[in-house]
Homo-oligomer: A and B are copies of this chain.
Amino acid sequence: MSKLFSVILYIIAFTVQAKSPYEIIDNSPDLAWRDLNPEQTLYITLESGVVVVEMAAQFAPHHVENTRKLVQEGVFDNTNFYRVVDGFVAQGGPSNPEKLAKPKGGKLTIAAEFTIKPKKPLNFTSIGLPDGYAPQTGFVGGFTAAYDKQKGEYWMTHCYGTLAMGRANEVNSGGTELYIVIGSAQRYLDKNTTVFGRVIAGMEHIQHLQRSSNLKGAVDLKDKNKIISIKIASDLKINKRLALQTMKTNSQSFKDLIASRKNRNSKWFVYQHNHIDVCSVVVPVRLKDAK
């Protein structure tokens, strides 16, 4: 009887014990993953390697469409990352877009898409925890997001690896100044620029770029940090594309991942915060082939 009791206790303990983030990712079913959308995926070729970015058409449809057109016209080829501030952002593209010939399809400046106000609520996986910058934070379609239920507004948040569009003082002046967050989350920029994607792979190549300044002062990046080309995945031959997948952020596996990030139950942890912020739950990425 006491042995049976021990067995039951063991089963309960085993069942209740939360899984680690790695266990959740490793044990997630294929259904919890989706392929990247090749029409919305950028391959940015730098001197040290390729950076893959997925754009978020749900949040910034015109930026995604316009960037695709500009990419297909070669506007970003042979340009560079001309502003790289360590711990902050790397900004690149044509450094003097106003001097470019008018593109045939894409526009050099387009209207801002800071927030969206969809007619129906989005499939929003809330992190369910307080956040100083937004009423609610969570995930939509694989991207970090914030939600103001009262206003019915959603917007993407500036986390590590987020892609957004630089602009001048005028709100609708962006179009070619791509920037990527390379350090701490930069949440104070939320709702101040159009966020429209995230780096899926190759952040180390962005980090490899030379910085715009060092202790001695400004560094001239004019002939450095070359962007050899940017291509849309769907314009590449199938055998030149990576079979990348990202975890569906409305899947049970991802909800489990949020919970496991909130409290880390492995032996190693001596203090659990019962908290996590939206930028600290990285949406998992995998190569389909490598499973």
Q: Which residue numbers of A lie inside 8 Å of B, CB to CB?
A: 86-87, 114, 129-133, 159-161, 169, 171, 182-188, 190-192, 201, 203-204, 207-208, 210-211, 214-217, 242, 244, 261, 264, 267-271, 273, 275-277, 279-280, 282, 287, 290
Chain B residue nearest to A210 in the complex (CB): B204
**A268–B287 CA distance with the chains assembled, in angstroms:** 40
User: By the criterion CB–CB under 8 Å, are B133 and A275 in contact?
Assistant: yes
Given A86-B204, A204-B86, verify A133-B273 contact (CB < 8 Å).
yes
Given A161-B87, A275-B133, verify A290-B169 contact (CB < 8 Å).
no
User: By the criterion CB–CB under 8 Å, are A201 and B188 in contact?
Assistant: no
Q: Which residues of B contact A171 (CB under 8 A)?
A: 270
Min CB distance A277 to B, Å, is 6
User: By the criterion CB–CB under 8 Å, are B275 and A132 in contact?
Assistant: yes
User: By the criterion CB–CB under 8 Å, are B208 and A270 in contact?
Assistant: no
Count chain B CB atoms within 10 A of each CB in A184, A185, A261, A271 and give the residue with the most.
Answer: A184
Count chain B CB atoms within 10 A of each CB in A133, A277, A282 and give the residue with the most.
Answer: A277
**A187–B244 CA distance with the chains assembled, in angstroms:** 29
**A204–B85 CA distance with the chains assembled, in angstroms:** 10
Given A86-B203, A130-B132, A282-B87, verify A192-B290 contact (CB < 8 Å).
no
User: By the criterion CB–CB under 8 Å, are B190 and A160 in contact?
Assistant: no
Chain B residue nearest to A134 in the complex (CB): B273
User: By the criterion CB–CB under 8 Å, are B132 and A160 in contact?
Assistant: no
Q: Which residues of B contact A287 (CB under 8 A)?
A: 215-216
User: By the criterion CB–CB under 8 Å, are B279 and A184 in contact?
Assistant: yes
16 residue pairs of the A-B complex, CB under 8 angstroms, read A86-B203, A87-B160, A87-B161, A87-B282, A114-B270, A131-B132, A133-B275, A160-B183, A169-B268, A184-B184, A184-B279, A184-B280, A186-B280, A187-B273, A192-B269, A207-B208
